[in-house]
Amino acid sequence: MPNPTSANTNEELNTAKQVRPENVGALSRAQLTSGAAASPEGHDVPGHDHSAHDDHEGHDHGPPGTRPYLAPALSLGLLLAGLALDYYATVFFTGSVRLLWYGLAVGLVGWKVMKAAVLSIPSGNVFNEFLLMSLATFGAFALGEYPEGVAVMLFYTVGELFQDAAVNRAKRSIRALLEIQATEVIVVRGYQRLVLDPKAVQLGDTIEVRPGEKVALDGTLTTGPASFNTAALTGESVPQTKQTGDVVLAGMINQEALVQVLVTATYQDTKLAKILTLVQHAVGRKAKTQQFITRFARVYTPIVMALAVLLVLVPLLVVDDYVFRTWLYRALVFLVISCPCALVISIPLGYFGGIGAASRAGILFKGSNFLDVLREIDTVVLDKTGTLTQGVFAVRQV
């Protein structure tokens, strides 16, 4: 998810490195219209799509530099050392010492989960996997089963880390594909030529584009004729010749002479910027399967909680040798194994991974729902514009 879906999209794109247009997936002319480039509805990043945090609020798939594996590693070390001390019945490892030891182990990996469980209450998302894991851990500690309480949080956290790694890899692939915006532009003001950030350019300014450079902003050509490579936008391998007064779009590459362009759209309003925003928010356009899983999780989790409570209370009425501790332990086990994480993670993560894998091959998807549409395709018709080729010819035989 880096973040091709970050709120700082423009800032991230502004610092992007330029890549060759032939490495970028082709988009049809229809997609360059303002209607097609409009922002998608919503902003949802289902690295996993739990009912408690559909929009990943407070649940960042952070960058590798944050050392996400340090706390789980320390927790695992404390858990293994504690199990060894328990096994050898060490004299000092009893009572409050043992509680503090395992409490530290669970705190290293569990405090974020418990915090998320508390913060989700005001929003009404009470029944979620954070609450399930927290209850299971507190229950295990209440029963004196400290190692099991630590293990619940530790294994959950490790699973989240693996998921985060997969999401971040897909996000990096998408972000690399989208790094096609120019990061600086030459603006002609009077007799001065200023090198500015494209965001600082105003409507009506004249920008200068040298041969081999990308056009940074949409505008009209004031010096012509000129030839432009439009492959990054249209997939056309053959350069297009533009005359004075013709529209040129950000992302096109000037092929030959020095040209000037009168700016008609600001940085955030260019067709290219809208396309990039559309692709970055692609995961927000959910497929039907994802929508079903979201609705299912919101119903499933409260049912699991209710069944766990019944698992403690019903045996009291029907079992002769009822032992509260035993049935509470069984209810806690039931909570852990019934947590919907695996179910609600797999579907959204599968779609997100599909979009990321496609981006590595130079293919841009506007939403997860389009992955499902591909299943219904039985015929593909291609023209000769280089959509699947680079338009570079070579002698095969003499």
Give the torsion sign (CA, 314, 318, 323, 329): negative
Is-catalytic flag, 372? Answer: no
Q: Are residue 171 and residue 30 in the same domain, yes or no?
A: yes
How would you classify the pairing of strands 247-248 and 219-221? antiparallel
The CA-atom distances, in angstroms, between 266 and each of 52, 183, 203, 269, 311 are 38, 14, 6, 5, 62
Q: What's the pLDDT tens digit per position in 363-385? A: 777 677 788 888 888 888 876 65
Regarding whether 220 and 94 lie in a shared domain, the answer is no
- Could you read off the pLDDT of 111-159 as tens digits, one per residue? 998 998 899 888 887 877 788 788 888 888 988 889 988 988 888 888 7
Tokens of 347: 């579907």
The answer on 299 and 220 residing in a single domain is no
Dihedral sign for Cα 320, 324, 328, 329, please. Answer: negative
How far is 305 from 301, CA to CA, in rounded Å? 6
d(CA 327, CA 362): 55
Q: Which residues of the chain have pLDDT under 50?
A: 1-65
The number of helices, as runs of H, and strands, as runs of E, in the chain is 11, 9
Contacts of residue 189, Cβ cutoff 8 Å, sequence gap at least 6: 205, 206
24 shares its domain with 173: yes
Pick left, alpha or beta for residue 95 (phi over 0 → left; psi -120 to 50 → alpha; otherwise beta). left
Residue ranges of the alpha helices (H) in 120-210?
129-142, 146-178
Residue 247 pairs in a beta bridge with 220
Give the C-alpha separation, 174 to 172, whole Å: 5
Instruction: Determine the pLDDT at residue 323.
Output: 92
C-beta separation of 183 from 15 below 8 A: yes
Q: State how many domains the chain has.
A: 2
What is the pLDDT at residue 353? 78
Whose tokens are 């806690």? That residue is 332
Q: Which residue has tokens 């040129």?
A: 248
Q: Looking at 320, 321, 378, 383, which residue is catalytic?
A: 383
For the record, the structure tokens of 398 come out as: 């003499």
pLDDT number for residue 376: 84
pLDDT at residue number 391 = 61
Q: Are residues 114 and 21 in the same domain?
A: yes
What does the block give as tokens for 96?
């409050």
Residues 222 and 332 occupy one common structural domain: no
Same domain flag for 207 and 174: no
- Range of 259's domain? 202-265
Which residue in the block uniquely carries the two structure tokens 């649940």? Answer: 59
Domain co-membership, 163 together with 225: no
Q: Does the bond joining 225 to the residue before it have cis omega, within 30 degrees of 0?
A: yes
Question: What residue type is assigned to position 205 of the chain?
Answer: D
Instruction: Note whether 30 and 154 are same-domain residues.
Output: yes
CA atoms of 232 and 8, how far apart (whole Å): 23
Q: Taking the CA atoms of the chain, what radius of gyration do you get in angstroms?
A: 28
Is the domain of 109 the same as that of 73? yes
Residue 342: its pLDDT value, please?
63
Asked whether residue 273 is domain-assigned, the answer is: no
Residue 237 neighbours by CB distance under 10 Å: 18
Per the domain annotation, does 194 fall within a domain?
no
CB distance 182 to 364 below 8 Å: no
Task: Dig out the tokens for 256 from the structure.
Answer: 């030959």
Residue 111 maps to a domain? yes
Looking at the structure, do residues 255 and 323 belong to the same domain, yes or no?
Answer: no
